[in-house]
Every structure is written in structure tokens, then in C-alpha cells.
Amino acid sequence: DADVTQTPRNRITKTGKRIMLECSQTKGHDRMYWYRQDPGLGLRLIYYSFDVKDINKGEISDGYSVSRQAQAKFSLSLESAIPNQTALYFCATQPPGQETQYFGPGTRLLVL
């Protein structure tokens, strides 16, 4: 869905490096989410935000941090990347009062 964009789409980094993944949306949704997906597994929730001043940990937040700079932007940071953080990362948005989430195209991250 072009309304939710993620940058970069692909990234290779080295162990110990700091890296930021960015998500932007033009849908005007207040809720935003970060998930990771590992091969053969479903999506696991890392962090979520219901508003600019609201940040919440998900199921697997250790090793990650987030920033909600504006309603339209939600960034995910890996302070010191490690190889087991190699995964496909998805950002999603959700309008208020609805259960449906709208996903971005994903960022494929490889940590060497």
C-alpha cells in the first residue's frame, strides 16, 4: 500500500552498528506498529504507538527502541545490531475505532 512507506527497503549492516528504520504514512491514522517477521514464522509485535506522545512495548521489544516524531512518522532503532535481528520488518497503521491494520512493504535487514 503506497500510503504506508518504509525506508530503506533493504539494508545490510554489521554487528554493533546503530541502525534506524523509518516508516511514514499519509493515511492520517493515529495508531502505528512495528513488527518483525522471521522465515517460517508469523509477525511479532515490537513496539506500538497510539498517538504522538504514546509509546508501548510489544512482545519482543528488547534490543529495539522507537520514536514517534509526528503522527505520520514512526521510526524503529536498533542501538547495537546483532545477527539474530536479521529479519523482515513491517510497519503498520490503524485508524481509530477500526481493527484493520494497513501494512507497509517491509524492510529486509541483514546483520552480519
104 binds other proteins (CB under 8 A): yes
Of 27, 75, 21, 26, give the one whose Cα is nearest residue 49.
75
Sequence-distant (6+) residues with CB within 8 A of 75 are 20, 21, 22, 23, 66, 67, 68, 69
Tell me the closest approach of the beta carbon of residue 16 to other proteins, in angstroms. Answer: 28
Find out whether the peptide bond into 8 is cis, omega within 30 degrees of 0: yes
- Choices 11-19, 62-70, 71-79, 98-106; region in contact with other proteins by CB under 8 A: 98-106
- Choices 11-19, 33-41, 63-71, 75-83; region in contact with other proteins by CB under 8 A: 33-41
54 binds other proteins (CB under 8 A): no
39 binds other proteins (CB under 8 A): no
Residues that bind other proteins (CB under 8 A): 1, 4, 31, 33, 35, 40-45, 48, 50, 56-59, 90, 92, 94, 96-106, 108
